[in-house]
Amino acid sequence: MSIDIRVIAPDGTTWDANAEEIILPSSTGQLGILSGHAPLLTAIDIGVMRVRIGKNWTPVILMGGFAEIEDNKLTIVVNGIEETSQLNLEQAKANLEKSLEQLDQAQSNKQKIELTQNVRKARARVQALTATLNT
SS (H, E, C) 116-127: HHHHHHHHHHHH
Check whether residue 28 and residue 63 sit in a common domain: yes
Domain extent for 112:
87-133
Closest CA to 45 of 22, 30, 26: 26
Check whether residue 79 and residue 106 sit in a common domain: no
pTM confidence score: 0.84
- The full DSSP string for 20-55 is SEEEEEETTEEEEEETTPPPEEEEEEEEEEEEEETT
Check whether residue 58 and residue 104 sit in a common domain: no
Reported confidence tier of residue 134, pLDDT bands at 50, 70, 90: low
Closest CA to 120 of 52, 38, 63: 63
Reported confidence tier of residue 68, pLDDT bands at 50, 70, 90: very high
Q: What is the pLDDT of residues 16-65, one digit of tens each?
A: 999 999 999 998 999 999 999 999 999 999 999 999 999 999 999 999 99
Judged against a pLDDT cut of 80, whether residue 99 lies above it is answered with: yes
What pLDDT score does 83 carry? 84
What pLDDT score does 135 carry? 54
